Chains A and B, each alone.
Chain A
Amino acid sequence: MTESIDYDHFADVNLFPVWKHLRETCPVAHSDDMEGFWIASRHAEIAAIARDPELFSSRYVTVPPQNLLGDLALPPLTLDPPEHGPIKAVLTSAFTPKRVAPLEPVVREIVVDAIGMFATKGACDASHEFARVVPLYTIARLLGLPKEDDPKFTDWVHRAIELQGTDESLIAGFEVLEYFSELVEQRQASPGEDFVSYLTQAEIDGEPMADSDIILSSMSVLLAGIDTTWSVLGFAIKHLAEDQELQQRLREDPGLIESAREEFLRFYAPVTVARQATRDTERGGCPIKAEEMVLIPFPSANRDPEAFPDPDTFDVERSPNKHVAFGLGVHRCLGVNLARLELSIALEELLARIPQWRLDPAGEVRWAVGQIRGPRALPILFGD
């Protein structure tokens, strides 16, 4: 297929039907929108592209291609092998199951405190007051940010992420950079038990990490670890608001939450990334030129009937469920164990403490746009 499709991920539209249409009619399609790009929508092509960093570089991971801070690479997200591997390995060592498991009480306290803020009110914005707050404070504590900096941190996240594409977002990015530069200096002088301190003491090939890599990696964690988990949790809460039977079933059988979590991840995977072709190539019969961008929406792979039987049915007991919400290949999500921990605890505690939540018919659900999609306002009512 050679005609250009219309595709604008900055529009507030539900892309799931768009991806479905592409999977069925034009699995590798081209668009002249957003400075021009290709989009692969089936699992097979998305997997192949994600698994070939040599041919499909992460130098730019957005459409249109942009870097958050001028032309700085954002490790490990925008690095390719061979530079990617060693930095990713150091970061991964801080996010293994062994290192994430001890965070359980911290996450649970954040979750329970957040719920406590609205539990007696009978209503809340489950996205802004809960789904956003859980990963935001979890990352803040993981990074070792002092609690008194929480308001500053919250403001940056708002500006850098929710206002992305604006000058405000860029300015926020520079403020975060400045903050982390100072923080790294402090932790080098006086290390603690936090992630930033860990990075200041890590070594790659016997050498300490470059300051810029420590700073930018910390920023990557901040930027990648919040809106993603915020989205999945928001989607899950909305789904359960609209399926009271499932909500009650999970409440009565918390052992099922783990399976539900994986199906929420599959069904609502929030992340689409992009890659840049490093030379002329071909996919799905379509010629892709060197330097052209290719979008690979993982949520579309997760709905491909060739990979998942009856993919548009939410099956809380779906097994197997080898979804690709966390990506594939070397850029597999760094925070996979942390995200799983947050999601499980958040759902567990919400189900235990908030009875029968449902969408507020007088409220309006609002959605993020861009490549990380999910609810950003989710007014709910609960109790009697």
Chain B
Amino acid sequence: MRVSVDQARCQGNNRCAAIAYDLFEIDDAGHSHPFYDGLVPAGREEAAVRAAANCPEDAITISENEDTEGLG
């Protein structure tokens, strides 16, 4: 699973980091950047999905990558 944050949409609500501080890093401008280059570690998929669903700016997208077997 990969997670990405659209920087144009992100306005620094930081809800994603509140839900999953291990998946999203908040920079000094308050904007969110996924850790691990967006690769979601095993076991954290539900948290990533919840973070995406709770962004009031709809800035987060989740993609299920079939070819990440063996990673994370």
Q: Evaluate whether A97 and B54 lie within 8 angstroms (CB atoms) in the complex, with A92-B29, A92-B30 already known.
A: no
- Count the A-B residue pairs with Cβ separation under 8 angstroms: how many? 55
Given the contacts A92-B12, A95-B30, A328-B56, A320 and B17 also touching, CB distance less than 8 Å: no
Q: Could you mark each residue 298-339 of chain A with 1 if its beta carbon is under 8 Å from any beta carbon of chain B, else 0? A: 000000000000000000000111111010111010001100
Q: How far is the CA of A330 from the CA of B11 in the complex (A)?
A: 6
**B50 x A319 contact (CB < 8 A):** yes
Contacts of B2 in A (CB 8 A): none
Distance to closest chain A CB from B7 (angstroms): 13
Proximity bits, A65-98, B CB within 8 Å = 1, else 0: 0000000000000000000000001001101111
In the complex, chain B residues 19-42 whose Cβ is within 8 Å of any chain A Cβ: 21, 26-30
Report the bound CA distance from A330 to B31 in whole Å: 11
What's the tally of chain B residues with a CB closer than 8 Å to chain A?
Answer: 20
Return B34 CB to nearest CB of chain A, in Å: 15
**Contact call A97/B11, Cβ cutoff below 8 A:** no
Flag if A328 contacts B11 (CB, 8 Å): yes
Contacts of B62 in A (CB 8 A): none
Central interface residue in B11, B17, B28, B55, by most chain A CB within 10 Å: B11
Q: Which of B29-72 contact A (CB under 8 A)?
A: 29-30, 50, 53-58
With A319-B53, A322-B56, A340-B18 given, is the CB distance from A98 to B11 under 8 Å? no
Beyond A92-B29, A328-B11, A336-B12, 13 additional contacts (C-beta under 8 Å) are: A89-B29, A93-B28, A97-B14, A97-B17, A98-B26, A320-B50, A322-B54, A328-B56, A330-B11, A332-B12, A332-B13, A337-B14, A337-B18
Interface residues of B (CB under 8 A from A): 11-15, 17-18, 21, 26-30, 50, 53-58
